[in-house]
């Protein structure tokens, strides 16, 4: 069993990113009613994309 440890909040930096309106609408529909923010969704999507790139190399 994995041992519990109190998580730390990673340092963050504000970045201004422009999204096409249709992408914003799709993300908002995907997270509607879930305990997820737009930012959290985008961060996770980028993490997965980076892992996929690493796996392909």
User: Is 25 contained in some domain?
Assistant: yes
Distance CA 53, CA 3 (A): 30
* Domain count within the chain: 1
pLDDT of the residue at 14: 94
User: Is 47 contained in some domain?
Assistant: yes
User: Is 29 contained in some domain?
Assistant: yes
Please answer whether residues 42 and 23 qualify as being in contact, where contact means their C-beta atoms are separated by less than 8 angstroms.
Answer: no
User: Is 40 contained in some domain?
Assistant: yes
Q: How many residues does the chain have?
A: 57
Give the other-Cβ count within 10 Å of 52's Cβ: 10
- pLDDT > 80? residue 55: yes
User: Is 8 contained in some domain?
Assistant: no
Q: pTM for the whole thing?
A: 0.78
Q: What percent of the chain has pLDDT over 90?
A: 75
- pLDDT > 90? residue 3: no
- pLDDT > 80? residue 15: yes
Please give the residue range of the domain that contains residue 30.
21-56
């Amino acid at each position: 069993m994995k041992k519990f440890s109190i998580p730390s909040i990673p340092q963050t930096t504000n970045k201004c990113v422009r999204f096409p309106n249709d992408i914003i609408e799709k993300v908002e529909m995907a997270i509607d009613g879930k305990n997820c923010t737009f930012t959290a969704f985008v961060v996770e999507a980028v993490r997965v994309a980076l892992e996929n790139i690493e796996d392909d190399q």
